[in-house]
Amino acid sequence: MMKNQVIDLALASVAAFGAGYIVHELVNNAEEAKRQARRMARRTRRAGRRVKKLIITKINSFKKPVEEEPIEELFEEEIEATDLPAEEAVAAHCANNAGGRGLSVLSAKW
């Protein structure tokens, strides 16, 4: 009878060790999967940033450089070129540049 108890105890301890080892492996696999997921997320973000930079660079390469003309200087030259008083020159300027809307923006007296 004693041998059966020892054998049962040995089998139970081996089964417990096996179950513990299986749990240990499952935890390790889960941790490794978590690390791999984080790595993939980092790589994806980096790749996304690179693609975004590449797209922006490509879009910017199609843009033509535009010469900016100082608006105030043109406006002053236009006023000086006319013999009208300043108020009428402003109204004429607005009419020319507003598509014929006239003094809709500048309806108040200066």
Q: Quick check: helix, strand or coil at residue 105?
A: coil
Q: CA–CA separation, 42 vs 32, rounded Å?
A: 15
What is the overall mean pLDDT for the chain?
75
Which pTM was predicted?
A: 0.38
Q: Which residue has the higher pLDDT, 104 or 98?
A: 98
Q: How many Å apart are CA 46 and CA 54, to the nearest integer?
A: 12
Greater confidence (62 vs 44) lies with: 44
pLDDT tens for 55-89 read 888 888 887 766 666 556 655 655 555 555 666 66
Cα→Cα distances 80→3, 48, 73, 97, Å: 119, 54, 10, 17
What proportions of the chain, in percent to the nearest 5, are helix, strand and coil? 80, 0, 20
Q: Can you say how many angstroms the Cα of residue 13 is from the centroid of all Cα atoms in its chain?
A: 57
